[in-house]
Structures are given as C-alpha cells and as structure tokens.
Amino acid sequence: MQLRTVIHHRFRADDAAAGPEFVYVATSAAILGLDAHTAAIVEGFGGADGHDDEAWLATRPDRELAERSLHDLIDLGVVRPVGEPEAPRAALPPMPFPLATLVLNVTNKCNLSCTYCYEYGADRLTEGEGSKGAGKPRMDDDTARQSIDFLLRSSGDRPQVSITFFGGETLLNFPAIRAAVEYAEPRAAALRKRVHYSLTTNATLLTDEVVEFLVRHRFGITVSIDGDQQEQDRHRTFQRGVGSFEVIAPRIRHLLATNKAQKGRAIGARVTLTAGAAPAPKTFHFLCSELGFDEVGFAPVTAGLGRAYALGELGYERLLREFAELADGYVAAALRDETHGFANLNDLLRELHQGVHKAHPCGAGLGLLGVSTEGEIGLCHRFVESKDHGLGNVATGLDEAQRTTFLQQAHIDRKTDCRQCFAKPLCAGGCYHEAHVRYGDATHANLHYCEWIRGFVALGLRSYARILTQNPKFFARFETS
C-alpha cells in the first residue's frame, strides 16, 4: 500500500545539536517524540507520493520492529494511505454557539493620533467605502446596559462571561464603563455567572479615580505603549504632534504600583511593531524591568500594501531573531520554574501544550463579538463599523444566519492556500481584519506573513522541547487554566 507522512514539522530542542527529536503533526496538533525507527518512517514516507510500505519494510534491517513502529504511527494518524481523505472536521460547532466575550467599543474617538492606527489611519473601516460612517462618538449608558443583557442572554450555560472595553481611547468614556460594570454585577450574580472585565487603554487618562475603579473590579488591563520615550513618541503622539510618553509614564507607574499593592491581575503592555522599531528585547527590558509591566506582547502593525511603517520581509526576519533572543530568556526562566513576561511565547506554549487545533483563527463571530457605540454587532471590535460585516444589534438580536454563513466561509478547510502548512492548527489563516485590510476579504488567508508565522511556531516548538526535556513540570501551569 502506498503510504505517506501527513503534514508535519520535525524539531529538536536545539537544531544544531543531537538530542531527542520530536514531530508536530498538523492534522491533529499532537507533539510526539521520535526515536530512530519512527524518525526513519517519518522521513521514508515523506514527499507528496509517499512510499510503498512493503518495499520500504523490505529494506529495513529489523523488519519486525520497523513494522511495529509503522503501525504505531498509522494508529496515531502520522502516516496514512495516499489519497485517503483526512477525517472530516466539524464544519461548525452546534449553533447558536454560546457567547463568551463581548467587546464594547465605548467610544470611537481618541485623544492620540498614532500614525499607524487602523481606526484613524488610511486602513480604517469607519469611513469611506465598506463602512457605515463614523457612528456616534460615544456609547450611551443605555446601549452599554443593553449590551450586557445581550451578552448574558446569549451566553448559554457558561459560568463566566467576559466584557472587554475598547475604543478609540476607551477611557474617554469612563461613565459608560462604570455604568456597564454596575449593571452587570447584580444581573450576572442573579444568573450565577461570574463576569470578567478587561480593557485596553493608551494610559493618558489613568486618573486616581479610574485606577482605583479598575483595580477594585480586577480588570485585566492592557496598555498600548511602544517602548521608551523615543519609541513611544515616534508614532504615538497627541493630535498637535507632541509625543505622549511624558504624560503616560507617571500614570502607568501609578497604575502598576496600585495594582501590585492590591494584588491585582497581571497588567500587560502591547507593543505595535513598525518599520525601524527598536530591538524587541530592548523594548521588553524597558517595559518589564524599568516600568514594571508584568508581561509584554508584540504585534506587527496591521497595514495595507505600501504603508511606510509596515514591517517588510526584512523586518519580519529581524523580528524572528529578536524573538529567539527573548525566547532564550523565557526558557531560562522556565528551567528555574519562574514565569517570564514574553506574552507571545507564553500564549504559544500554552496552545501547543493544550493541543489547540483551530478551525477558525480567533473567536471573532464564534465566542466573541464586538458592539459599536450605537449597539451594532460586528465580528469583533475592529469590524463594528463595517457595513459588510454587520451581525445585528444588541437591542434586536444577533443575525444568526449571517454569523453562520461567515463562519462557514472562514473555516480553515475552505482555505486551500493553507492545506500544506504545518502551522495551520494554530494560525488557521490569521486575523480576519488583517486579511480584510490586505486582500479586501476577511476570509482570505494572510499569505503575506506565512513565513513569519511558521518561523514563530517553529521557535515555539524548539522552546517547548527545551523545556520539556529539562523541566517538564513547568507545563503543569497550562493544565489548570
């Protein structure tokens, strides 16, 4: 029988050294250890045409052992008959899928005018073709309350729901945030549900009153900040062109100190990476060691073709080298059983350890929806003003037919470009908004950053192997969350 190895990625803790070898199996998201026999099989049956099993076994010095190993790999789905279709995956979970997270765009105004901002820059959805127009600048309290009711009644029997506040600059509409929280608490309690709050802010409006409120309600807080003064002020300026670092630095220090004193949840920095940015390890060091953030996540800027601030191919290559340096720090900490604030790698290792196997790249449209200032529902916060991606209104309800149609079209099995990619269990084609900006089609695979994604997943797998072979108990933390 003609057999072939399924899409996979082989890796070791250190590519340059001998040592245990592993394989990441893209059809199941499993990580398996390889010995000399199974490695020879993965190798021998590689290639599009595979190999005849009898012919291959006849070449093996210990046929009995080789046959046993081959059957083991067939049972594990690593080797399959050529032409046999993959086991069909569910097109969709049972619909209507219960909602877990609602992202409330409480304002679409901002007091900064960052040059790369998708909300206000050249790639915005809030004006022009494909948009509904800028909408109301602020969500009123009634719409915030209606959104909470919508979330609670759409969440099925989930014991916990999440409300994420977003903008514009989210804190420009602190009254709506407070109204939503005060409304959600008793209603959720009556339904025996817990509510988890989170918010993203540029930190310019973190007054004592706001900080006290956020910490008291145990908000998960993400601060958008690009690094030290030079980095921050390159793109993140007030409308009159003045950099924002001097305003935000003392406010962030106050937030972090208050949160630490009250044992609040981890607070993260989110760095937008643009062309010419400082090295990521330098920025990481500044944000964690000097400002005191608990974790830092880096996100390459979302940009249409030809934007000067976009990371080009060389920018992604450089970033991968810098991420490898940060990964060394993460692994060293993991071997001491300590946490490390490199959020990108932490999230990836959690997904690898949990065997995450995505049919859709993120929760948008599935467990997560966005709400505009006017109560219009969108796939996520980035789509709420888009007339092509509207999914109803919090007052009148969700358009389930539209939601289902989108999710069917966005399923990984429909993305033929991704079929041969070992990273698809984790990437699943990438962010819908990024695809919309780049290709004018939210369901398109983000082919412009495949090398970057595969490079980062490969780095994650190497890091996983380094920790697994030296301190496997580190991963217990990913089994309880």
Radius of gyration of the chain (CA): 24
Nearer to ligand SF4, 217 or 444 (CB): 444
Is residue 177 within 8 A of residue 199, CB to CB? The reply is yes
As measured in angstroms, the least distance from the Cβ of 214 to ligand SF4 is 22
The two tokens of residue 415 are 């993305």
As measured in angstroms, the least distance from the Cβ of 414 to ligand SF4 is 12
Nearer to ligand SF4, 69 or 272 (CB): 272
Strands 220-224 and 30-34: unpaired
Task: Give the whole-angstrom CA distance, residue 363 versus residue 35.
Answer: 37
The two tokens of residue 399 are 């358009």
Binding interface with ligand SF4 (CB under 6 A): 362, 364, 380, 382, 417-418, 421, 423-424, 427, 429-433, 445-447, 450, 453-454
As measured in angstroms, the least distance from the Cβ of 144 to ligand SF4 is 20
Is residue 415 within 8 A of residue 161, CB to CB? The reply is no
As measured in angstroms, the least distance from the Cβ of 2 to ligand SF4 is 26
Handedness of CA 310, 316, 322, 323 (dihedral sign): positive
As measured in angstroms, the least distance from the Cβ of 118 to ligand SF4 is 9
As measured in angstroms, the least distance from the Cβ of 205 to ligand SF4 is 23
Task: Give the whole-angstrom CA distance, residue 235 versus residue 91.
Answer: 42
Nearest to 99 by CA among 280, 301, 368, 314: 368
Nearer to ligand SF4, 135 or 430 (CB): 430
Nearer to ligand SF4, 66 or 106 (CB): 106
Strands 267-273 and 220-224: parallel
Nearest to 32 by CA among 365, 322, 464: 464
Handedness of CA 320, 321, 326, 330 (dihedral sign): positive
As measured in angstroms, the least distance from the Cβ of 275 to ligand SF4 is 21
Task: Give the whole-angstrom CA distance, residue 121 versus residue 113.
Answer: 9
Nearer to ligand SF4, 271 or 418 (CB): 418
Task: Give the whole-angstrom CA distance, residue 77 versus residue 85.
Answer: 12
As measured in angstroms, the least distance from the Cβ of 5 to ligand SF4 is 18
As measured in angstroms, the least distance from the Cβ of 446 to ligand SF4 is 5
Nearer to ligand SF4, 168 or 429 (CB): 429
Nearer to ligand SF4, 39 or 450 (CB): 450
Count of other CB atoms within 10 angstroms of residue 268: 20
Mark residue 63 as left, alpha or beta (left: phi above 0; alpha: psi -120 to 50; beta: remaining): alpha
As measured in angstroms, the least distance from the Cβ of 387 to ligand SF4 is 17
Strands 295-300 and 267-273: parallel
Nearer to ligand SF4, 118 or 284 (CB): 118
Nearer to ligand SF4, 291 or 435 (CB): 435
Q: Give the SS3 label for residue 199.
A: strand
Task: State the SS3 of 100-154.
Answer: CEEEEECECCCCECCCCCCCCCCCCCCCCCCECCCCCCECCHHHHHHHHHHHHHC
Nearer to ligand SF4, 203 or 379 (CB): 379
